[in-house]
Structure formats: structure tokens, C-alpha cells
């Protein structure tokens, strides 16, 4: 449909129709099962209001959505098709590693391929829009939704988020196998105080602009067609009603011209915030801020007409919002084909197909972060006579897909036992559950509960101890429950459940040769785990190919490719912790011997495992940083180079990381900032020159006058394998 036709349609619509296009409701209201992420009992919508809605969330299935689309279009006066939206966060049916684990790959190309795969499956099932990527900067492991981000660094987040947008949307969202991406949550959602979901965010404008906004901007520059508002307040104003944030920053400065949608119930929740006296006030604030679609509250449909009559809103504001919704439907090609790609036969062919499983398997191995490998215990020997015991509640567990993953059949997730047995091991392998997930009844989110069976404890433990005594190597498969992470799963305790830690301690008493695999959607306290294990590997929540990928990596067919996308603390009391913090006037040298310096008197001022850290099965050495010049001016480039050498005895891949530090500025600058990375594969003994071009804009920031610029001064270049390693050179920015 041409633009003039869209505008003609808009002019022919009644006010009620236009406002109806601005409402999104859950599929439950159409008699369909759907995911509910907020209270529904209050949602008393009339049939007439339901008939005018413009979009539906959280239902899928080609035949089901075709029927819903037909029924809705028949009732809609102008037969305008519905938009179907869904949280496709890390795969539709073929579940791949959670976003935080994708961040660990430091591989935007992989993220793009995964998003493209998810779009093929989701669009075949009738979905038009995914609520992904989440570009929120996350620095506090207590916050459950760190799982949905790619980590604590805005540069990495920006590259990964933009790649996901390209993967979902391709060159044209109307193309077969593509869907529109919705960047979330704008803005600063990851800065929630205390790591408490939905809580206040308190950021200076400089911090917001320098550190939180860049990743959203990269995703928007990749042409994401939707943006979602965040639940939090910013500068004491809820984002959903924040006119400065949405109109000036998002629309004017960032140039976003797509659809702005609220999060679930966020418009009405401004009443709870205390910035709106009632839902009528909330509607005025949200539409006035440019929010086009209200998700799961009724402030618009109940009050916008009245607000127009009172002069508090204008018809032009409604028209602008409605036209953006109609344009999105048009961009997706829904006026010509309201089903888009929904096709039951394509669903059967694509969902969990071999090619998709293969990619998910590759991604999982690439995301695994090896944190310790004492005595080269990994990779494990796969030879006759070698005895390996796999012990723990994740040794044969299908629920390895994390929160925000909704496979129709969890039994299709490959467990570690299934993957190892399928690999046809020559080694003598056994499997024991060892312990239950928790040592008592435990309340999970969404009303779920884990029910503890006290009678199982001793038999499980006895079996595990007996197996550990007989084994040459023990692989402990431990971690947090998949529903201990994600939305509404903030935690003050980020340890592995005590029941599992007790299992680790008891096994360590009889066999010191322990490899611990950690399942999690966030950084955990791993000090004791590391002390009791010869090897520790984060496998996150790897998805449907978990067991196959674990077998590949443990026995050396592939190496663990991940590098930490978030810093891992010694203790939760250090949270939030992140590598690129500001320098202090009283710096700490990382020991407890100093007095009156920044830090704690009972904990060293460093983390257990730093951002960017990870090991493979070989070793690498870095030569000194060499610069092509020592002065860098406007329009110029300096090339920084290191010689990277594989000093081990097998092929491996190193993630080479470039960090820059502005040593002096008109405002305090971070100790260092990631500004480039590259994955380099080398044979044993092979060397390669790895170079990065540095330009002045890579050192730009909001200066004392809130001008985005770079300033002359001395700068440092670090090129190394993680954020804590020093291998540097300096130059002058002039």
C-alpha cells in the first residue's frame, strides 16, 4: 500500500478505530493460551473494545493465528489486519544460548545467524514482531534480567544488538522468514537500584548518554522498527511518560521513526508511580510522550477521546501514533497478505530442523567460558579404561533453556547424558543425579514451586559418592534453577543452591579431580566452587543442543570459545561490579594492606573473574603493543598492533580485545573502555599480526559542557585477552 493510501485509510477511520489500533492485548482474551507477565484479573475489556484492537501478543502457531486473523479482520470496520508479537528471546522452537551467553561469544556474526534462524521459525508460526534485542546495559548480577542482555559493556552490547536486528529483519521485514525487531527497554532499565526488577533508576544525564544510550542507538541505526519503553523512572519520571526521553532523545536525536510500544501494563502503572492521578492522566502522559501502542492496559481506549475533547490531547497526536502502526503493518506486507509467512508446512519443516540444531550446537560451544583448568584436566580423555562420573541435578536435565524460552516440548532439549551417550564414548561413563536442585521447598517465579523430597537426599548422595570414588574424573553439573533468573527473578543470594554445594563438598572429599559445569543466567559467587574444582566452566543456559555441545567441548572435539560478558564477583556484596568504573582519588592496589583507600576492609578490591576473561585448550602470548604513530589528530588514524602466538599444542581461537583509556579529561573517565575485539584462530606455534585502527571519535565523551567530543591529552591503548591484563602503549590525542 502506498503512503497516500495509508493516509486515506487513516482519514476514513473513526476516532474509536484509530485508538483501537493503539491497544495491544494478550491472546488469552481471544480464548487462546498466551504468556502473561502481569496481573490479568483487572483487565475488564468489552467485546467492542476487543474487536478494535490493533495487535495481539504471546500466541503463535500458523493455523491458530490464521484463524484469529480472519476473525479479527472480519469484525474490524476497515478489515485492518492484526500485528502478532511474541518474546522470541533466544530462539522460537530451536532454543539457543540465552543472550548473556551470546554476549560471551564476542561474535556478532553468530548472533545475527541465530536471530535469522529464530525469525525463520517464528515467522512460519505467524509472528510478525519479536520483543528483542534487549540492549540494556547490565552491571548488577542480582538483577534477574541480566540474562536477557549481552553484558556490562555498552560497546559489546551495541555490536550484538545491531547484529540481532539485522538477523531478525534482513534487508526488508516483508521478506519471507523475516520479522520486525523491537529494541528494549528504553532507557536505562538495567540500572535498577539494588538489582530490584521494576525499581527506580538514578543516573546522571552524562552517565545515561555516555554509557547506557549507545547500545540502543546502534540497534536503532540498524533500522529496528520498534522500541519498547522501560518500566523504570529516569530523572524521577517513568520512561513511559517521559517526553524528554521519548521525543527529544529517541525521536529527534536518534532519529527513530518506528513504533514506540509500552511494556506490559506500563501506561497504567504510572498511577502506581504517583506521577498520574488516574489512568486518564496516564493516557495523557504516555500519548503525549509519543507512545504509540499501549500494551495490556486500557488507558487509551477509555480516556483518549475525552482528553481530546478537553484539549489535553489532540487528534493530530492520535493520527501520528495510528499512522506509525499502520506503516509498520504495511512494511510487513500485511495489507496484501495478513498471514505473512504463517504456514503449517513450513513450521513442520523448519522447527528444530537439523540445520537449526547444528547452528544452536555451534553457538553453545562458542559461548562456554572456561574459567579454570588446573593440571590441564580438560579436555577429558576419551579412552578405554578411563572412568568419568557425571553427577548433579543438571547431568540429565531437559530444563536447560533458561527463562524466556518456551519450547513446546522440553523433552526435545538434549540433556548432558543424552549428548554424551550419543557421542559413543570409549571411556567408561556413569550418571548420577546426586542431589535435588534445592534442599527445601522453593518458590520460583510465575507461581511455580519446587517441592523438596527429604527421603531422596541420602540415597542420591550415597550413589554419587560411590560413583565418585570409582571415577578417574568427576563432572559435576550444577547451577541455579532456570526460573531463578529472568524477569521478576532478582536475587540477593547469587550462590549455587546449598543442596548442590553440599554435594560438591562431599564429592571433593573422595575425589579431587572435579570439573564443574555451571548452569546460570547471571554471574554467580564461585569462589568455593573454584577452590574445590580443578576446572570450572560456565555453560549458562545453552538451549536445545546442550548435551551435544557439552560432549563436544568436554572431550575436546571443540574448544570452549566464550569470554565473560560480565565480571564475576568474589561476593554479592561487591555488586554492582564492572570493569570500566571511574578512577578514584584514593585508588586501591588490590590488596588489604592499604588504609583510607577506596574499597572494603574485608575484601580485596578486585573481582574473581574479570570481564573478557576465558580460557581455551591452548595458550597464547601477546607481544608488546606497537603504534603506527604517537600523535593522533582530527581526521587521522593510528594503528595499534600486537603479535599473537599460539604457544600451545593444539589449534585454538583467542578473542583479542582492544581497550582505550583517556588518562586526563574535563570530567572523570573510566579506567578503560572496550573499543574493539577480534576472534583469531591459530595453529600450534603459529603467529599473526592483529591490528586495530584508532580514531579520535573512539575517545569521544560528554565533556564538562555536555558536548559530545574528544579532548586533547594522553591516551593509553591496551590489547590483551581480558579487561584486567596490562599490555599497553601511549599516544597523544592532539
Looking up cell 563436544 gives 552
Q: Do 520 and 407 belong together in one domain? A: yes
In a domain, 364, yes or no: no
Q: Is the dihedral of CA 15, 291, 165, 519 positive or negative?
A: negative
Q: How much is the pLDDT for 28?
A: 87
Check whether residue 340 and residue 374 sit in a common domain: no
53 and 180 share one domain: yes
In this structure, what CATH number is given to the domain that contains residue 311? 3.20.20.300
Query: What are the CA-CA distances from residue 618 to residues 193, 514, 560, 647, 683 (Å)?
Result: 41, 20, 11, 7, 10
Kindly state whether residue 690 falls inside one of the protein's structural domains: yes
Separation of alpha carbons 197 and 185, rounded Å = 12
Spatial CA neighbour of 380 closest among 415, 416, 414: 416
Residues 540 and 659 in one domain: no
Q: What angle do CA 93, 96, 97 make, to 5 degrees?
A: 145
Same structural domain, 97 and 205: yes
Residue 601 counted as domain residue: no
d(CA 398, CA 388): 21
Question: What pLDDT shows up at residue 33?
Answer: 61
629 and 681 assigned to the same domain: yes
Report the domain count for the chain.
3
Ranges 188-202, 283-297, 437-451: which has the least confidence: 437-451
Q: How far apart are CA 242 and CA 212, in angstroms?
A: 16
User: Within this chain, do residues 177 and 63 fall inside the same structural domain, yes or no?
Assistant: yes
Within a domain: 395: yes
Per-residue confidence (pLDDT) for residue 30, from 0 to 100 = 84
Of 533, 560, 587, the domain-final residue:
560
The residues assigned a catalytic role are 263
Q: What is the pLDDT of residues 670-695, one digit of tens each?
A: 999 999 999 999 999 999 999 999 99
Q: 442: which 3 cell numbers?
A: 522453593
Give the integer Cα–Cα distance in Å for 509 and 192: 41
The pLDDT of residue 42 is 59
Q: Are residues 395 and 302 in the same domain?
A: no
CB 625 within 8 A of CB 640: yes
- Do residue 201 and residue 135 come from a single domain? yes
Task: Look at residue 283 in the predicted model and tell me its pLDDT.
Answer: 98
Q: Is residue 258 part of a domain?
A: yes
Q: Does residue 43 carry a pLDDT above 80?
A: no
For residue range 417-446, list pLDDT tens digits in order.
Answer: 999 999 999 999 999 999 999 999 999 887
Rounded mean pLDDT of 304-325?
Answer: 98
> CB pairs under 8 A, 24+ apart, for 282-285?
282/241, 283/307, 283/313, 284/312, 284/313, 285/238, 285/240, 285/241
3-state secondary structure of 708: strand
Q: Rounded to 5 degrees, what angle do the CA atoms 552, 384, 509 make?
A: 80
Distance CA(384)–CA(381), nearest Å, equals 9
Q: Which grid cell is 150?
A: 549481552
Q: In this structure, are strands 294-295 and 638-646 parallel, antiparallel, or unpaired?
A: unpaired
pLDDT (mean) for 520-536: 98
Give the mean model confidence (pLDDT) for residues 354-368: 98
Neighbouring C-alpha atoms within 13 Å toward the C-beta of 586: 7
714 and 652 co-located in one domain: yes
- Domain of 111 in residue numbering reads as 3-347
Q: What does 408-460 look like in DSSP terms, one character per residue? A: S-GGGSPPHHHHHHHTT-SSEEEEE--S-S-SS-EE-STT-EE---GGGHHHH
Q: What is the mean pLDDT of residues 515-538?
A: 98
The answer for residues whose C-beta is within 8 angstroms of residue 339's C-beta and 6 or more apart is 62, 65, 66, 69, 126
| Judgement on whether residues 327 and 412 belong to the same structural domain of the protein | no
Q: Which of 516, 544, 560 is the last residue of a domain?
A: 560
Q: How far apart are the first and last CA of the chain?
A: 53
Residue 579 within a domain: no
Give 141-180 pLDDT, tens digit per residue: 999 999 999 999 999 999 999 999 999 999 999 999 999 9
User: What SS3 state is found at 251?
Assistant: helix
- What is d(CA 180, CA 132) in angstroms, rounded to the nearest whole number? 9
Query: Cα separation of 38 and 200, whole Å?
Result: 19
Does residue 491 fall inside a structural domain? yes
pLDDT reported for residue 508: 98
Instruction: Give domain status of residue 691, yes or no.
Output: yes
Pick the more confident residue, 637 or 603.
Answer: 637
Closest by Cα among 715, 624, 602 to 663: 715
Read off the CATH number of the domain in which 486 is found. Answer: 3.40.50.1700
**CA dist 326 → 52, 280, 567 (Å):** 14, 25, 43
Neighbour tally for 549: CB within 10 Å: 29
Residue 665: CATH number of its domain: 2.60.40.10
The torsion angles phi and psi of 723, rounded to 5 degrees, stand at -75, -15
The mean pLDDT of the chain is: 96
Cell 541455579, residue located: 480
Per 3-state DSSP, what percentage of the chain is helix, strand, and coil (rounded to 5)?
35, 20, 45
Cα–Cα distance, 474 to 303 (Å, whole number): 63
Residue 39 has pLDDT above 70, yes or no: no
For the cut 80, the answer to whether the pLDDT of residue 37 exceeds it is no
Residues 180 and 305 occupy one common structural domain: yes
Last residue of a domain, one of 511, 542, 560: 560
Amino acid at each position: 500500500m502506498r503512503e497516500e493510501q495509508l493516509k486515506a485509510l487513516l482519514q476514513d477511520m473513526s476516532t474509536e478505530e484509530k485508538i483501537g489500533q493503539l491497544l495491544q492485548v494478550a491472546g488469552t482474551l481471544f480464548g487462546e493460551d498466551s504468556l502473561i507477565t502481569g496481573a490479568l484479573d483487572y483487565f475488564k475489556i468489552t467485546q467492542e473494545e476487543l474487536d478494535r484492537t490493533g495487535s495481539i501478543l504471546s500466541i503463535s502457531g500458523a493455523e491458530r493465528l490464521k484463524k484469529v486473523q480472519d476473525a479479527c479482520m472480519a469484525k474490524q470496520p476497515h478489515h485492518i489486519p492484526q500485528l502478532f508479537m511474541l518474546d522470541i528471546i533466544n530462539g522460537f522452537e530451536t532454543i539457543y544460548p540465552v543472550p548473556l551467553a551470546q554476549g560471551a561469544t564476542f561474535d556478532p556474526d553468530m548472533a545475527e545467524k541465530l536471530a535469522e534462524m529464530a525469525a525463520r521459525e517464528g515467522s512460519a508460526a505467524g509472528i510478525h514482531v519479536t520483543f528483542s534485542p534487549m540492549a540494556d546495559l547490565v552491571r548488577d548480577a542480582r538483577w534477574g534480567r541480566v540474562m536477557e542482555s549481552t553484558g556490562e559493556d555498552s560497546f559489546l552490547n551495541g555490536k550484538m544488538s545491531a547484529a540481532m536486528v539485522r538477523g531478525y529483519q534482513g534487508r526488508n521485514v516483508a521478506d519471507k522468514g523475516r520479522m520486525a525487531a523491537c529494541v528494549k527497554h528504553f532507557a536505562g532499565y538495567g540500572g535498577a537500584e539494588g538489582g530490584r526488577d521494576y525499581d527506580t533508576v538514578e543516573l546522571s544525564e552524562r552517565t545515561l548518554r555516555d554509557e547506557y544510550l549507545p547500545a540502543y542507538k546502534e540497534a536503532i541505526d540498524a533500522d529496528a522498527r520498534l522500541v519498547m519503553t522501560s518500566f523504570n523512572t529516569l530523572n524521577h519520571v517513568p520512561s513511559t511518560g517521559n517526553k524528554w526521553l521519548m521525543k527529544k532523545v529517541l525521536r529527534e536525536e536518534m532519529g527513530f521513526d518506528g513504533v514506540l510500544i509500552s511494556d506490559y501494563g506500563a501506561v497504567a502503572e504510572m498511577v502506581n508511580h504517583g506521577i498520574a492521578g488516574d489512568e486518564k492522566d496516564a493516557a495523557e502522559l504516555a500519548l503525549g510522550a509519543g507512545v504509540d501502542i499501549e500494551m495490556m492496559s486500557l488507558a487509551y481506549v477509555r480516556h483518549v477521546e475525552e482528553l481530546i475533547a478537553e484539549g489535553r490531547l489532540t487528534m493530530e497526536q492520535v493520527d501520528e501514533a495510528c499512522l506509525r502502526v499502520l506503516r509498520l503493518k504495511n512494511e510487513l506486507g500485511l495489507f496484501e497478505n495478513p498471514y505473512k509467512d504463517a504456514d503449517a508446512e513450513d513450521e513442520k519443516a523448519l522447527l528444530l530442523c537439523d540445520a537449526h540444531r547444528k547452528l544452536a550446537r555451534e553457538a553453545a560451544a562458542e559461548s562456554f567460558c572456561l574459567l579454570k583448568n588446573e593440571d590441564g584436566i580438560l579436555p577429558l580423555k576419551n579412552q578405554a579404561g578411563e572412568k568419568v562420573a557425571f553427577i548433579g541435578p543438571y547431568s540429565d536435565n531437559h530444563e536447560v533453556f533458561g527463562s524466556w524460552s518456551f519450547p513446546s516440548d522440553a523433552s526435545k532439549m538434549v540433556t548432558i547424558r543424552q549428548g554424551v551417550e550419543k557421542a559413543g564414548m570409549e571411556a567408561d561413563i556413569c550418571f548420577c543425579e546426586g542431589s535435588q536442585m534445592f534442599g527445601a521447598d522453593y518458590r520460583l517465579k510465575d507461581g511455580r514451586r519446587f517441592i523438596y523430597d527429604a527421603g531422596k537426599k541420602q540415597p542420591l548422595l550415597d550413589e554419587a559418592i560411590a560413583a565418585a570414588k570409582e571415577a578417574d574424573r568427576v563432572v559435576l553439573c550444577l547451577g541455579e534453577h532456570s526460573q531463578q533468573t529472568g524477569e521478576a527473578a532478582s536475587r540477593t543470594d547469587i550462590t549455587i543452591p546449598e543442596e548442590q554445594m553440599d554435594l560438591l563438598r562431599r564429592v571433593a572429599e573422595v575425589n579431587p579431580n572435579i570439573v564443574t559445569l555451571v548452569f546460570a543466567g547471571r554471574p554467580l559467587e564461585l569462589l568455593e566452587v573454584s577452590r574445590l574444582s580443578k576446572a570450572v566452566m560456565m555453560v549458562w543456559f545453552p538451549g536445545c543442543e546442550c548435551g551435544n555441545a557439552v560432549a563436544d567441548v568436554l572431550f575436546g572435539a571443540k574448544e570452549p570459545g566464550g569470554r565473560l560478558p560480565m565480571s564475576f564477583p568474589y561476593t554479592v556484596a561487591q555488586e554492582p561490579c564492572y570493569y570500566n568504573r571511574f578512577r578514584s582519588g584514593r585508588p586501591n592496589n588490590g590488596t588489604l594492606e592499604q588504609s583510607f583507600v577506596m574499597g572494603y576492609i574485608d575484601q580485596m578490591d578486585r573481582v574473581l573473574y574479570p570481564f573478557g576473561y576465558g580460557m581455551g585448550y591452548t595458550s597464547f602470548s601477546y607481544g608488546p603493543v606497537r603504534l603506527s604513530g604517537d600523535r593522533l589528530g582530527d581526521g587521522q588514524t593510528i594503528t595499534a598492533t600486537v603479535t599473537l602466538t599460539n604457544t600451545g599444542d593444539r589449534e585454538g581461537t583467542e578473542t583479542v580485545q582492544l581497550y582505550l583509556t583517556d588518562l586526563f579529561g574535563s570530567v572523570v573517565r573510566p579506567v578503560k573502555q572496550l573499543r574493539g575485539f577480534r576472534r583469531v584462530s591459530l595453529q600450534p606455534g603459529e603467529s599473526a599480526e592483529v591490528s586495530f585502527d584508532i580514531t579520535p571519535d573512539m575517545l569521544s565523551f560528554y565533556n564538562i559542557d555536555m558536548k559530545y567530543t574528544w579532548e586533547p591529552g594522553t591516551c593509553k591503548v591496551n590489547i590483551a585477552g581480558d579487561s584486567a591484563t596490562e599490555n599497553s602503549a601511549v599516544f597523544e590525542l592532539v
